Chains A and B, each alone.
Chain A
Amino acid sequence: MSIFVDENTKVIVQGLTGGQGRFHGLRNRDYGTQVVGGVTPGKGGSDVDGVPVFNSVKEAVDATGATASFVVVPPKFAAAAILEAAEGGITFIVCITEGIPAHDEAVTYNRLVEEFPGVRLLGPNCPGIISPGKCNIGITSGDIALAGGPVGIVSRSGTLTYQALHELSQQGIGQTTCVGIGGDPVPGTNFVDCLAAFEADPETKAVMMIGEIGGSEEERAAEWIKANMTKPVVAYVAGITAPPGRKMGHAGAIISGSKGTASAKMDALRDAGVFVCANPTEAGQKMVDIVQAL
């Protein structure tokens, strides 16, 4: 099984008529994802390579029955687009936009929690989600993923996610779902959400988790794992050599004072029984060993 999405998930793309939206939206469709519509205000009635475009999310949902949305709009408009999706009846929102102001993210997250408790936001600033062979929403290249499980992946980084997929797929080990939760300070979905979903999914037998400096989501994940997780978890945390006080590419990847260091995160995970590896290759190899021993 997969988590959050599957072959029946109907997806609309907010920003389908833009360059990025068109490129990734059509790539997702070509992968086999049910991309049923696009949304661009003022362009309703047109189409993008056969995918109908609507003026609003509400119209698109009424016409297509979509439950998921892929938000590919510039930072200035992203918060409004996410809320429009929730108001329009979408329950799973993937936002890849990088560069949204932190205050907008904080307001958006809390409005979703308060006004739309059934809605899950993935991202912003994430590569999206892929359940190999079933559904791909986002910018991950479908051909590096391998269907059939048994590994679930959850990651804060895009390219390291690709690296993880690649390491496993090359050795013939498939994935149930690979979730990129994104590198921003206020992620809609966190490690614990994904770990809980993987723990509950019978087809996922082991989980690979890729963290990085900044915040305390890895420490919270460690606590959760210690208390609840029965499946093996392999982890890698990027940024052991990162200098404090600098945003390392991602807005959320910053060591503040002495908080959010990679070593503290690795210690917490190790203490929770997680196999903590020193680099992505080692993590890939460890996962291969675990799966082969299952």
Chain B
Amino acid sequence: MDLFEYQGKQYFARFGIAVSPGDVADTVQEALAVAREVGYPVVVKAQVKVGGRGKAGGVKLASNDDEVRLHAGNILGLDIKGHVVKRLWIEHASDIEKEYYASFTLDRPNKTHLGMLSAQGGVEIEVVAEENPDAIAFLSIDPVRGLDLATARRWVDEAQLDEVAREQAAELLVKLYRCYSEGDCDLAEVNPLILTPEGKVHALDAKVTLDENASFRHPEWAAYRATETEDPREKMAKEKGLNYIGLDGTVGIIANGAGLAMSTLDVVNQVGGTAANFLDIGGGADANVMAAALEVINADPKVKSIFVNIFGGITRVDEVANGVLEALKRVTITSPIVLRLDGTNAVEGRAILAPHLNDTLIMEPTMLDAARRAVTLAQA
């Protein structure tokens, strides 16, 4: 789960990481109140989960009430790459002497954590990595040992941060690592991490991605989940407990298992179609799950056909077949359904569906045949 900047900053603050004083505002009036509270000048920042806010006019400096009214009014409702701004973050503007970069992520190939620190912040780190890789100090961190202050001190030296910033930066990095590890982040990134003319170091931005597998030990994440601006289809699927990702195509996909679901998308694409979604119904899909899956896909107006691709392992195909029939009793499905059923109890499953097959409930013997049929129907 990606956090908004303001949530990231609130998350940082929990771990004692210095951020600029500020607060959220959903209206121009609230923006004014926050601006007066934190003191002018302030920065009015659009809260959207997409890069390039500044260029799109979503970040503005304001020195007085009139400027806050003007900018807050303009930015609220602004469309930034398809994301409509509903919330602002107003913070006291910082004078910037230097911009640095710091982040922690999992280093998958080495199965350790990876810290990246650079004295060249404020720009995309991918660009720095490409154009001037020596400007990034990489640190491999053993997950068992973590990051201590002594190591962080050597790291800020290696990254050649300004002398005056080093001790504060080292302390901040240790806190950021704690936020990353104890806070169960997939990514904790500060860009820019700034040095002010007064010699203070603090986080001017916050990019945080949380590992949803750790939700069970973070009840406080419920607040973040509530503000997720989701595709309405994804929201509906989540409420029904389905593993669904909305896409732009016309063939609705239902498969069991993440790999098979991904593969189904690929095969639909190979035979000239486009998938409307990724949907993994998991193991042991019963009538309730199948009904929920068909309902979510049926609600997508772009869907023109539905491809149900099941390979029974633990999931028994006869149960899936009964689930489909049961689901069809409960939900009126507007698009034709093409099924491919294989694996455990496939013969029984196909037999159950055989008497019900017609123009809108079609069985194909293989994954490729079924994909072709579904694509043809979607294009008809």
Contact = CB atoms under 8 A, between A and B. Distances in A.
Given A106-B111, A166-B343, A186-B108, A238 B263 contact: yes
A136 to B, nearest CB: 12
B144 A110 contact: yes
B214 A183 contact: no
Interface string B269-284: 1100001001010010
Nearest to A159: B257
Contact of A103 (B143, B280, B366): B143
B216 A75 contact: yes
| Chain B contact residues, majority secondary structure | mixed
A99 interface: yes
| Of B113, B258, B311, most A-chain CB atoms within 10 Å | B258
Contact of A158 (B214, B257, B270): B257
Contact of B143 (A75, A110, A185, A210): A110
A99 B343 CA distance: 25
Contacts of A240: 266, 269
B260 interface: yes
Interface in A244-276: 246, 248-253, 257, 262
Nearest to B258: A249
A141 B314 contact: yes
Interface stretch (A31-39, A48-56, A212-220, A286-294): A212-220
A2 interface: no
Interface stretch (A7-15, A65-73, A225-233, A277-285): A277-285
A28 interface: no
B296 to A, nearest CB: 15
B262 A220 contact: no
Contacts of A249: 243, 257-259, 261-262, 278, 280
B162 interface: no
Interface in B299-341: 311-314
A248 B263 contact: no
Interface in B227-274: 243, 245, 247, 255-263, 265-270
Interface of A: 75-76, 99-104, 106-107, 109-111, 114, 127, 139-141, 143-144, 155-163, 166, 183, 185-186, 210, 212-217, 220, 236, 238-243, 246, 248-253, 257, 262, 278-281
Given A102-B213, A141-B314, A248-B278, 14 more contacts: A102-B214, A104-B214, A110-B143, A144-B344, A156-B259, A159-B313, A160-B259, A216-B108, A238-B259, A239-B262, A248-B245, A249-B278, A279-B267, A281-B368
